[in-house]
Amino acid sequence: MTLVASEAVPFAKTGGLGDVVGAIPRALSRLGVNVTVVLPAYPPCFQQPHEDTGKSITILMGDKPRKARLLRATFPGGLGELVLIDQPDLYQRSGIYGDPSGADYPDNCERFAFLCRAAFEALDVLDLPVDCLHAHDWQGGLVPAYLRHLYGDHPRFRHAGSLFTIHNAVFQGIFPKGQWRHLGLGESLFSRGNLDYHDQICFLKGGILESAIVTAVSERYAKEIQGPEFGCGMDPFLRDRAHARRLVGIVNGIDVEHWDPAMDAALPSVFDRKRWRKGKSECKRALLRELGLPEVPGRPLLGMVGRLTEQKGLDLFVGGAESLMHLNAQYVVLGTGEERYRSFFSRLMAEYPERVAARFAFDEGLAHRIYAGSDMFLMPSRFEPCGLSQLYGLRYGSVPVVHAVGGLVDTVCPVTPRNLANHKATGFSFQQFTAEAFVRCLRRATQAFADKKLWSSLVERGMREDWSWENSARHYLETYKSAKEHRLLELGARSS
Ligand code: ADP
């Protein structure tokens, strides 16, 4: 199996995409499948063990030929391999998608078109078998188009199936059509409409239309993106694909070895689902100390880790700030992102230094300590394709409080009288995306925190749940198989 993506833990990560692409190879390897991930060689990749294959590729896209060295690396534990595309002009930069100010690099069209094209050339030069090509998000969006239109008759790729996974339909890879020359595809493909979106190039649309099968990262999100509210303009194409039974929802899992409160080296104290009270309260005490927040017995600590963007529902925090500061709660926020949210949390922290601690950095260790040391994990996302953080929250005994949307619906069973009676509830959720509903939900959650028996049952149930990759990896395997069958049928139809 071959994955093409712009992130893969531990080589590159800005969010959930990196976690997922880093975890699939391990999960598939355990099922006996050989996996190779093709990834750009960003600066942090060179800190991981790797070797130079001594081979290179040269691709003419646009006006100049670009050469790339091919490096090989292995995922930890030898579970899955990588091909790293070392093209310093395109990938030796401080960020993956843009500079620290948040501005996208102006040549992202060329950078990720090159990645998709380089994947084919590299797999061929390195003589690697290709069964199915699995491309991720808009950065991998040209892979299915290249497979169909440039490499469809190439013996190595002729029988390969193609799968395209949407991790977030908001990010679409839209560029002026003047940049078409970077794609190395004939002009007629643009006018035929496959990659053309309102007279611009759209990588995401290309991935949706040209792949054998499209997947989204939860069943709920696979439905939501067929409608105008969450489809972000892609909904008509996604509806078509769904009618043709070519759109599938496969919920993400988590890497339960990397995210294990019983083994986590980032934590001051470890714990497991059977004995969690002592370890978790030591983690909480240490975290409060690290953040400079006072310890107040009986007061829950509410954590948030994530991109500080509109998607993550921060406007509900802004709108409800006054009421939130009157709840019996303390808050810790870790994130990078938009200036307006950073200044909001800075102000809140200055005004309520005993209640709020915010850190604006990408800090993996602190993220782990927040999952372990907080009592609740907040995800009031406006939309959420799957969300991994709530799964980490569940595994680390931090009860999720979520907006009932996307993957959050598929993964958090809300506290209701019925779900409590059936011993199913694992978190709190609210339906309407308003500050009032968010505050009401948090009020309920903080009151429930005072009920020790109820709280313990929530924590324990969440920690017991199995969100490992195994089931989803099997689902991907089946889907690879049908993507390949579609390809064989297509070839059969062509030759008959
Ligand atoms: P998304 O992919 O939309 O960003 P997810 O919940 O799927 O959201 O995944 C987010 C991942 O990124 C989680 O592993 C989370 O812990 C991590 N993360 C986000 N922001 C930070 C940060 N500032 N520091 C450390 N880890 C972060």
pLDDT tens column, 460-487? 999 999 999 999 999 999 999 999 999 9
pLDDT value for 280: 98
The pLDDT value given to residue 191: 74
Please name the residue whose Cα sits nearest to atom 22 of ligand 1: 362
On the 0-12 / 13-18 / 19+ scale of CB atoms within 10 A, 10 is middle
For 430-441, write each residue's pLDDT tens digit: 999 999 999 999
pLDDT at 188: 84
Confidence category of residue 111, pLDDT binned at 50, 70, 90? very high
From the CA of 25, how far away is ligand 1's center (Å)?
A: 20
Collect all residues with Cβ–Cβ distance below 8 Å to 254 and sequence separation of at least 6: 19, 23, 388, 391, 392, 395, 467, 468, 469
Mean pLDDT along residues 170-179: 97
**Res 61: pLDDT:** 84
Q: What's residue 495's pLDDT?
A: 76
The pTM (predicted TM-score) of the whole model is 0.94
DSSP 312: G
- Nearest atom (ligand 1) to Cα of 168: 3
The CB of 363 under 6 Å from ligand 1? The reply is yes
**For atom 18 of ligand 1, which residue has the closest CA?**
306
The answer to whether residue 121 scores a pLDDT higher than 90 is yes
Q: What pLDDT does 50 receive?
A: 97
Say if ligand 1 is within 6 A of residue 22 CB. no
With 90 as the cut, is the pLDDT of residue 370 above it?
yes
Which residues sit opposite 201 in a β-bridge? 175, 196
Q: Whose CA is nearest to atom 19 of ligand 1?
A: 306
Distance (angstroms) between ligand 1 centre and the Cα of 130 equals 31
In the chain, what percentage of residues exceed pLDDT 70? 100
Question: Looking at residue 102, what is its pLDDT?
Answer: 78
Nearest atom (ligand 1) to Cα of 379: 6
Instruction: Point out the least confidently predicted range of 188-192, 217-221, 331-335, 419-423.
Output: 188-192
Contact present, 440 and 428 (Cβ < 8 Å): no
Count of all residues that appear for the chain in the document: 496
Average pLDDT over residues 73-78: 95
